[in-house]
Chain A
Amino acid sequence: MNWLLKNWYKWLSILLLLYVIAFGMLVPLRPGIMKTDTFRLDLGTEAEIHIQFYNTHLRKSDDHRIWIRVDNDHAIKAKSFAVLNDVELKAVFELPSELPIDERVAMASLLADNSVDGPMVLPAAFSLVGENAGPGEISLWLENPVSDLNMRWTYAYPWRNILEETIRNTYYHVPMWFGMMLLFLISAIYSIRLIRSDNQDYDSRVFSLNLVGTLYGLLGILTGAIWARYTWGAYWSGDIKQDMAAITLLIFLAYFLLRSAMDPGPKRSRVTAIYTLFAFAASIPLLYIIPRMQPSLHPGSGGNPGFGGDDLDNTMKTVFYPAVIGWTLFGYWLSNIVFRLNRLGRKTEEKIFT
């Protein structure tokens, strides 16, 4: 019992990570619209559109409704449709000859709804091209408004176009960075304690926390690169947050260079502790301030924190926050092993040389 209590954070981290991996991988995605075969729609024609869905059960329901929606008030409902299989459907739209807005071209989204899968939307699905500008047959656009959607809560992660299943990486890639920052924070606290007391155990703490924090950062960069390859199109896009994260890692890698360049002793521990404080202070603007002032592919650029809406809904929060705590505690466990090894090494060297 005592042993269990003494290692509480190790058990907790393992339990949390088991929960995070099981629920993060097994909970399904909400049904969604994957793609259509047409992008340009000419007004005044009849359009047959082949729509591909994801995670839907189209054959189970017979109350399908499909709209092409220009804005909140103006939409065209499909005249007829044919369900091909559970995830494919062909819809026929009779397009009015004029746009409801005073433009020649308008972006429109595709909306689908049925009682089994609930409402689904594909934003910016079509470009409507009209010969005549100006409001004409507006009444056609108002006849079948988007209404009475089958909204309901399901235990599933949000469907996001382009992201698709990779939204689950929120539980594995993002906590790497949260964990890294928390480990660096503890490391900064030990640096202050070292400078105040010259206790060499704190030097081992700073070293081990920096080591595991840097490992987490490297894993964050690598998992981010593979995620970016299949969502943004390239391993490295020169995105502001990618670049700033790389700079942060280089700053912390320099800590190990500095440390290996000096002879062991109180002087080295003090110099490297002060360097750690500077590195930690630099990492805050690099990771949390500059990326928010620049346009970025990451969510949360332009001043708003990325956690809101469909990027991290309430269902995802039930896995994401345990993931952050679990990965951080696991990182602290790893750093504790490094700490004990480093401390032992120092003690034995002291024994050898004195």
Chain B
Amino acid sequence: MKHYISSSILNHSLLIPTVMVFLSPGTINDFMRSIGKIWVVVAALLIIFIGIVVFLFLLEKRISKLENDLDNE
């Protein structure tokens, strides 16, 4: 148990700085520019995908509203 706790503390103490370093602007810029800036294209595709998914969710909300209106008629 003690071993488990200490290892989890160690993991977190390593994890947090790692995440912080990765999220710092310099690292993200280096990452986006790696492999001929291919991640910029991946980001653009992700933006389009997320945009369409959000649009579908909003559309579904409107359908639910219409269904409720019909049920309460």
Contacts and interface: CB of A to CB of B under 8 A. Distances in A.
Interface string B33-50: 101111011011101100
Interface in A313-354: 334, 337-338, 341, 344-345, 348, 351-352
Contacts of B70: 348
A219 B38 CA distance: 19
A29 interface: yes
A126 B44 CA distance: 33
Contacts of B59: 337-338, 341
A56 B26 CA distance: 28
A256 interface: no
A234 interface: no
Interface in B25-73: 29, 32-33, 35-38, 40-41, 43-45, 47-48, 51-52, 55, 59, 62-63, 66, 69-70, 73
A218 B54 CA distance: 13
A165 B41 contact: yes
Contacts, number: 76
Size class of the contact patch on chain A: 20 to 34
Given A54-B36, A230-B33, A338-B59, A223 B66 contact: no
Nearest to A220: B48
A33 to B, nearest CB: 12
Interface stretch (A69-77, A167-175, A241-249, A262-270): A167-175
A215 B58 CA distance: 12
Main secondary structure of the interface of B (DSSP, over half): helix
A338 B47 CA distance: 21
A262 B48 CA distance: 32
A212 B63 CA distance: 17
Nearest to B42: A25
A94 B57 CA distance: 65
Contacts of B38: 165-166, 168
Contact of B37 (A164, A222, A351, A352): A164
Contacts of B40: 165-166, 169, 226-227, 229-231
B61 to A, nearest CB: 11
B32 A215 contact: no
A273 interface: no
A351 B38 CA distance: 53
A229 B33 CA distance: 11
B58 to A, nearest CB: 10
A226 B66 contact: no
B36 A29 contact: yes
A3 to B, nearest CB: 22
Given A215-B55, A351-B73, 15 more contacts: A165-B36, A165-B38, A165-B40, A176-B48, A212-B55, A219-B48, A222-B47, A227-B44, A230-B33, A230-B37, A231-B37, A231-B40, A341-B59, A345-B62, A352-B73
State the 5 A-B residue pairs at the shortest beta-carbon distance, nearest first: A165-B36, A223-B44, A164-B36, A165-B38, A219-B51
6 contacts: A165-B38, A218-B51, A230-B29, A230-B33, A334-B55, A351-B73
